[in-house]
Structure 1
Amino acid sequence: MSDRSSLDLSTTHVTTEEYLAPLEQSRGKSNTLVSVQSEEKSYVAHNYLADDDAEQYKRFSPARKVVIVCILSYYAFLAPISSTAILAAVPEISKTYQTTGDIINASNALYLTSMGIASLVWGPLSQVWGRRPIFVTSGVLFFLFTVATALSPNLAAYFFFRVLTAFQGTSFLVVGSSAIGDVYEPRSRASAMVWLLSGSMTGPAAGPFLGGIIVTFRPWREIFWLLSTMSGFAALILIFFFPETIHSKSSGDLAGKSLPQKSKLLWQRISPIRVIALTFSYPNIFIAGLAAGALVWNQYALLTPIRYILNPRFHLNSPIQCGLFYLAPGAGYLTGTFVGGPWGDYFVRKYIKRRNGLRIPEDRLRSCLAFISIIAPGCILAYGWTLDQEVGGIPVPAIAMFLQGVAQLFCFLSINTYCLDVMHEEGRSAEVIASNYLFRYVFAALGTGVVLPATKAMGVGWFNTVSALFLVAASAAVWLTVEYGPRWREAIDSK
């Protein structure tokens, strides 16, 4: 998937011998490659990347890069915290609008669905016009729609402005990940990406805690006034301090063309169909999305029903008591932040060293295999069945949520950086990230909408068993991608 002309094939001929051996055994079975020499060069060029320090990564000083990461991390915190801050206040909101808790949870599902759809838009747009214009536009609109949500006079207005707020919020995550890829070279990318993920993942856990505190002492609308203040501050930071990070915008291709030609070319660049087609063309990209979807399903299936399940189990009476449970996974995400980045970069450097300076994008996924296949499913099972059987008291689910938080951060870090790496040479990393977030928020919406009725019908133990099996199946697919991803990409690219 890389056509980098500067790759030194005279070097890779020797250093990749170990990894080309399986390919040698399969000659004669594949009709996608022609000769021994061209086959080896094609395989190397498409699947191995020279890990040099390109000039594009030297445009910003180390201190400026830290500032960029800090802004992006705070930015990424906002959309997820807005999605979950109302969870502890669902009964109060439903009472205000004279409806049921299921209907208010449905608004949250719509919020997440809107985020998924928006991912198809923001990623491609940022490749055409640049990261900064997208950030500034979406940041200002996010602030305005959050204010409108706080002022919503009825349920229809509340639904409408929640959906519009979510549509803007996705750019924080999709374009933010792409901006990390713009300024950090692959060997150190995970150590920067982990802070962006820390913001995006502590948001869902911190939201209900803050919401619980507010709704215990103040009206629920104060939640959205707090979010408005935070998002307004973010918009100002973006306007005055965030630089353009992309090194090559494709909007230059529009110069000198007629209006019909510009319209056609622009649609080809930003069409959501382009992202969807990319997702289903490459098995490795589809599997990365499915794995991310399985993780988010479990995340939101864990967070959504806390007030309805844990409060009755442990005889808790106030929203703030419920909100304290959300601190357990949040602490797990923060703990993972300090070790997840170095862990992911260690795996990349380890396999670069084995190949004498060459890497393949799939190496990034190796760092999450144990977490996605064993630790996360194990925590989900422990959480579900101890609650179902009413054993272990409060410590067991709290510890399970903490460990699952650590495991999820390691997994998301591996998947996010893989999405940045796998088509970076073609300039389509934002589209790969966009497709991945589409999976995430589709499954987040399903998890939010399904978890309460499914838990009531199946019981918390069996529902979490199904969720754990989904994650195990996704982990098996990730392992196949690690082993066969380069070969899959070669087969698709050679067609």
Structure 2
Amino acid sequence: MQSFIQYRKFKHAVEAQLERKGRLADESAEKSSPQPGQTYTPEPSGREKDVEKGDAEFEGDPSSPHPHEHLHAPYGVRPGEVAAVRRSSVPREAEETMMATNRPQGEVEPPYRPGGSSNDDEGEDDDDDDELMRQRSSLAATLSPQASGNTRLGRMLTGVNIRRRSTREGGDGDVFVVGYEGADDPLDPHNWGFGTRVRCTLIIAAIGCVVGIASAIDSSVVRRVAAEFGVGEVAASLGTGLFLIGFGAGALFAGPISETVGRNPVYIVTLILYMIFIMAAGLAPNFGAWLAFRFIAGVFGSTPLTCAGGSISDLWRPMERVWTFPIFANAAFTGPLLGPVAGGWIAQSRTLSWRWTEWVTLLVSGVVLGLVVLLQPETYPPTLLKWKAAHLRALTGDHRYRAELEIRRESFVHRLQRALWRPFLLTTREPIIVLISLYLTVVYIVLFGFLDGYDYIFGQTYGESPGITGICFLGIIVGLFGASALVLVIYKWAKHDLQKIQEQGGDKLPPEFRLWFSMLGGAFAIPISLFWMGWTARPDISIWSPLAASVLFGYGILCVFISCYQYIIDSYETYSASALASITLIRYVASGGMVVASIPFYQNMGVAYTCTILGCISAVMVPVPYIFYRYGPWIRKHSRYAITHTSKA
């Protein structure tokens, strides 16, 4: 619904822009219209020319001392603002492009000669330039006023960059690359109202929360599932494990597809399919069908894990993401922790079937899907500019208007194949991806290992019921929200550092700044909490001791998650969704395996040694954020996909 309304808004905005600029184009057309005695030859009415593949037309106004001054105007520069630019300041490539653009069809390009003349080595003088200008003036007089008017209008539209299409882009004609009108264009999601952007962020966070609930809620009813289907508890835990593995597999598709068709179609379609298979899991007649439906539901439920980071980047500028990204991070981790809270009471109930874990998930997911359909607009900039370009083509009849996404004119299948291959490419070639993946994998192995491990830590050690054991997960949630207090400190530091960078000519913080969340105790908090919990979860020590350790664990995992995700987004920018897909695959496949292995692990090793082993593994990963903070710029410099420096103002 919101996307449809948004599409109409783009049409109205384009109509308003054309109306403003059309007056200027008409005035210019009157000045360049043929005088009495001059004629022009109209285009044959039956011929449909491909303006993008070489049917170039005269671009300049012969009455202007610099007839091409607007052809390569910078983004957002209005006609007339570059009139003072001298021809000698135009790079050779731009000069050759402009010469080719205005050359009549069939005319051979003269060799380039510095100073504006040609054939200097053959001894010809500058009179050739005067003759060339006379030919261009004559050509302008014989062209259709409407044809030259279209080009003149394209040059006048702010945010439209006229350039030549390269051969690899499918042609050598002109293309009008459509962008936003300027930094303050209200169509840009970064410039939407504060309330609108907060609403969109909360909806994205809600999607992350609800699929997180689905990933963990079945872990509380393992024993009842095993009893109904006649399998062991380890086999029954596959319902959660396969859902998580499906998360990882689906991430390979959700992220790249969102970079091809936009965010909203992916959110809506995958949420519908995810809900269908959650319902199928609730109706599963046998154990094999239940496992299959849980896996497929996980595949379609992975959308927010890879697309949400990109959506937040679409809505908020880097400085604003210091405090907005933790909103999504809290929701993403709260979901898997709320699942056992609800599932524990269902497991304890004598009247509710274990299948109510699926029905509760389905009901909550339906509410979130309704919010997405009714209230969530499209945020992906290439898609929005594609809409704008489509409106410009329809309203002007000029098919040279193209969004950057459309210039190559590739098929959807070809673009999708390239996008799907990119996560594998990043995983094998990027050390940043490898190390961050290992770091988050350790965190998630511990987190999802607790889904079954909490029954041993709190249920068997302290004799708590399934419902109370589920409530013990709230300790981790308290730690999550406690970590959000760091936002105030880090935001203050970010403003101070950004001011220094702007004084030096830059305009944004380096990706390494995002690592402060981990370096401010988050990296150390995880192993400390595991050692603490493992060696104090004993009947002779109060239950409040392991609960306090769980609070510290929650603080640590949120800090690490925020640092890793934002570092990836800032380091890879355009390819961030593909980079996050790589990380999601690795950590969720490992987490799914850990869920299945955690039952025999806790049974055979005991709580103390299991937590100690996990604490030692996490301790090895503590230096990772400090290594990236120190050597991150050097690593990015040698990367093929990561950005290498902050952009200049």
Structure 2 length as normaliser, TM-score?
0.64
The answer on 1:109 being equivalent to 2:268 is: no
Q: Does the 8 Å CA contact 2:242/2:295 hold for their aligned counterparts? A: yes
Give, in whole Å, the separation in 2 of the partners of 1:433 and 1:470: 23
Give, in whole Å, the separation in 1 of the partners of 2:300 and 2:491: 31
Residue of structure 1 in register with 2:357 after alignment: 223
Give, in whole Å, the separation in 2 of the partners of 1:254 and 1:247: 10
Residue of structure 1 in register with 2:324 after alignment: 192
Q: Does the 8 Å CA contact 1:307/1:319 hold for their aligned counterparts? A: yes
The structure that is helix-richer by fraction is: 1
Q: Does the 8 Å CA contact 2:382/2:405 hold for their aligned counterparts? A: no
Residue of structure 1 in register with 2:98 after alignment: none
Give, in whole Å, the separation in 2 of the partners of 1:194 and 1:494: 26
Structure 2, unmatched stretches of 5+, are 1-73, 76-181, 387-402, 643-649
The answer on 1:58 being equivalent to 2:204 is: no
Give, in whole Å, the separation in 1 of the partners of 2:290 and 2:408: 43
Residue of structure 2 in register with 1:376 after alignment: 526
Residue of structure 1 in register with 2:513 after alignment: 363
Give, in whole Å, the separation in 2 of the partners of 1:450 and 1:371: 29
Task: Indicate which of 577, 587, 610 corresponds to 1:440.
Answer: 587
How far has the Cα of 1:487 moved from its partner?
0.5
RMSD: 2.5
Please give the residue correspondences for 1:416-435 in structure 2 after superposition, counting only pairs within 5 Å: 416-424=565-573, 427-435=574-582
Give, in whole Å, the separation in 1 of the partners of 2:641 and 2:365: 46
Residue of structure 1 in register with 2:548 after alignment: 399
Please tell me the residue identity of whatever aligns with 2:521. F
SS of corresponding position for 2:319: helix
The answer on 1:288 being equivalent to 2:288 is: no
The answer on 1:138 being equivalent to 2:138 is: no
Residue of structure 1 in register with 2:199 after alignment: 67
Deviation readout 1:46-83 (Å, 9 max, x if unpaired): xxxxxx97864534210100110111111111111111
Please tell me the residue identity of whatever aligns with 2:444. V
1:459–1:122 Cα change, 3 Å: same
How far has the Cα of 1:135 moved from its partner?
0.4
How far has the Cα of 1:172 moved from its partner?
2.0
Give, in whole Å, the separation in 2 of the partners of 1:155 and 1:57: 46
Please give the residue correspondences for 1:124-163 in structure 2 after superposition, counting only pairs within 5 Å: 124-163=256-295
Q: Does the 8 Å CA contact 1:179/1:245 hold for their aligned counterparts? A: yes
Residue of structure 2 in register with 1:484 after alignment: 631
Q: Does the 8 Å CA contact 1:202/1:334 hold for their aligned counterparts? A: no
Q: Does the 8 Å CA contact 1:344/1:414 hold for their aligned counterparts? A: no
1:472–1:352 Cα change, 3 Å: farther
Give, in whole Å, the separation in 2 of the partners of 1:302 and 1:262: 42
Give, in whole Å, the separation in 2 of the partners of 1:352 and 1:74: 31
Please tell me the residue identity of whatever aligns with 1:116. G
Deviation readout 1:128-150 (Å, 9 max, x if unpaired): 10000000101111221111111
SS of corresponding position for 2:423: helix
1:354–1:243 Cα change, 3 Å: same
Q: Does the 8 Å CA contact 1:189/1:345 hold for their aligned counterparts? A: no
SS of corresponding position for 1:367: helix
Please tell me the residue identity of whatever aligns with 2:455. R
How far has the Cα of 1:418 moved from its partner?
1.4
| Structure with max Cα Rg | 2
Deviation readout 1:135-174 (Å, 9 max, x if unpaired): 0101111221111111111101110110111111110221
Percent identical among aligned pairs is 22
Task: Indicate which of 343, 346, 352 corresponds to 1:211.
Answer: 343
Q: Does the 8 Å CA contact 1:333/1:406 hold for their aligned counterparts? A: yes
Q: Does the 8 Å CA contact 1:192/1:341 hold for their aligned counterparts? A: no
1:347–1:179 Cα change, 3 Å: same
Q: Does the 8 Å CA contact 1:111/1:166 hold for their aligned counterparts? A: yes
1:136–1:147 Cα change, 3 Å: same
Please tell me the residue identity of whatever aligns with 1:245. T
Q: Does the 8 Å CA contact 1:142/1:168 hold for their aligned counterparts? A: yes
SS of corresponding position for 1:359: coil
How far has the Cα of 1:440 moved from its partner?
2.4
Give, in whole Å, the separation in 1 of the partners of 2:367 and 2:237: 28
Q: Does the 8 Å CA contact 1:191/1:340 hold for their aligned counterparts? A: no
Give, in whole Å, the separation in 2 of the partners of 1:323 and 1:58: 40
Give, in whole Å, the separation in 1 of the partners of 2:206 and 2:229: 32
Residue of structure 2 in register with 1:314 after alignment: 462
Deviation readout 1:375-421 (Å, 9 max, x if unpaired): 1210111001112x544220111111112112211221121111211
Deviation readout 1:327-384 (Å, 9 max, x if unpaired): 21122223334x2443443454343345445521012113212434321210111001
Give, in whole Å, the separation in 2 of the partners of 1:304 and 1:59: 45
How far has the Cα of 1:474 moved from its partner?
1.7
How far has the Cα of 1:264 moved from its partner?
3.2
The worse-fitting range, judged by mean Cα deviation, of 454-463 and 321-330 is 454-463
1:369–1:443 Cα change, 3 Å: farther
Please tell me the residue identity of whatever aligns with 2:561. F
Please give the residue correspondences for 1:239-318 in structure 2 after superposition, counting only pairs within 5 Å: 239-249=373-383, 263-269=413-419, 271=420, 273-316=421-464, 318=465
Give, in whole Å, the separation in 1 of the partners of 2:270 and 2:493: 35
Residue of structure 1 in register with 2:52 after alignment: none
1:90–1:340 Cα change, 3 Å: farther
Residue of structure 2 in register with 1:33 after alignment: none
Q: Does the 8 Å CA contact 1:291/1:478 hold for their aligned counterparts? A: no
Give, in whole Å, the separation in 2 of the partners of 1:480 and 1:254: 36
Q: Does the 8 Å CA contact 1:380/1:464 hold for their aligned counterparts? A: yes
How far has the Cα of 1:472 moved from its partner?
2.0
Please tell me the residue identity of whatever aligns with 1:281. R
Residue of structure 2 in register with 1:21 after alignment: none
Task: Indicate which of 250, 264, 281 corresponds to 1:118.
Answer: 250
1:101–1:347 Cα change, 3 Å: farther
Please tell me the residue identity of whatever aligns with 1:187. M
SS of corresponding position for 1:176: helix
1:449–1:209 Cα change, 3 Å: same
Q: Does the 8 Å CA contact 1:384/1:460 hold for their aligned counterparts? A: yes
1:237–1:436 Cα change, 3 Å: same
Structure 1, unmatched stretches of 5+, are 7-51
Please tell me the residue identity of whatever aligns with 2:378. E
Give, in whole Å, the separation in 2 of the partners of 1:192 and 1:258: 36
1:180–1:435 Cα change, 3 Å: same
Residue of structure 2 in register with 1:352 after alignment: 498
How far has the Cα of 1:258 moved from its partner?
8.4
Q: Does the 8 Å CA contact 1:303/1:326 hold for their aligned counterparts? A: no
Q: Does the 8 Å CA contact 2:238/2:291 hold for their aligned counterparts? A: no
How far has the Cα of 1:443 moved from its partner?
2.6
SS of corresponding position for 2:622: helix
Work out which structure has the larger RCO, using CA pairs closer than 8 Å and 6 or more positions apart in sequence. Answer: 1
Q: Does the 8 Å CA contact 2:190/2:317 hold for their aligned counterparts? A: no
The worse-fitting range, judged by mean Cα deviation, of 137-146 and 390-399 is 390-399
Please tell me the residue identity of whatever aligns with 2:535. W
Give, in whole Å, the separation in 1 of the partners of 2:320 and 2:407: 39
Deviation readout 1:180-224 (Å, 9 max, x if unpaired): 011100111031111111111111111111111223222111121
Q: Does the 8 Å CA contact 2:536/2:546 hold for their aligned counterparts? A: yes
Structure 1 length as normaliser, TM-score?
0.83
